[in-house]
Amino acid sequence: MTASEIISFEPATGAEYWRRPVGDVDAEVAIARQHWVEWASQPVTVRMEALRRFVNVVRSRAEELADCIARETGKPLWEARTESEAVMNKVEISISAYLERTSQRRLDGNMGARMAVRHKPHGVLAVLGPYNFPAHLPNGHIVPALIAGNAIVFKPSEKTPATGALLVECYHAAGIPEGVVRLLVGGPDEGRALAGHPDIDGLLFTGSARTGVALNRQYADTPGKILALEMGGNNPLIVWDAADIPAAAALVVQSAFLSAGQRCTAARRLIVQDGAHEPLIAAVKGLADRLIVGEPHATPAPYMGPVIDNGVADQLQESFLDLMMKGGQPIKQLDRLIADKPFLSPAIIDTTRVAERPDVELFGPILQVIRVADFDEALIEANNTRYGLAASLIGGAPELYDRFWANIRAGVVNWNRPTNGAPSNAPFGGVGLSGNHRPSAFYAADYCAYPVVSTEEDQARAVIGVGLRDVAQS
- Catalytic residue numbers read 230, 264
CB 335 within 8 A of CB 302: no
Alpha helices in 76-235 (DSSP H): 77-101, 136-148, 161-173, 188-195, 209-218
CB 126 within 8 A of CB 195: yes
d(CA 71, CA 17): 8
Alpha helices in 326-438 (DSSP H): 375-382, 398-407
d(CA 415, CA 380): 18
Q: How many CB atoms within 10 Å of residue 336?
A: 16
Give residue 327's region: left, alpha or beta (phi > 0; psi -120 to 50). Answer: left
CB 332 within 8 A of CB 348: yes
Query: Pick from 182, 102, 95: which is nearest to 144 by CA?
Result: 95
Strands 5-9 and 16-21: antiparallel
CB 85 within 8 A of CB 93: no
Q: Which residues contact 214 (CB under 8 A, 6 or more apart)?
A: none
Query: Pick from 392, 405, 388, 375: which is nearest to 252 by CA?
Result: 392
For residue 382, with 0-12 CB atoms within 10 Å meaning exposed, 13-18 middle and 19 or more buried, which class applies?
Answer: buried
CB 62 within 8 A of CB 80: no
CB 401 within 8 A of CB 393: yes
Query: Pick from 225, 223, 177, 234: which is nearest to 205 by CA?
Result: 225
Length of the chain: 474
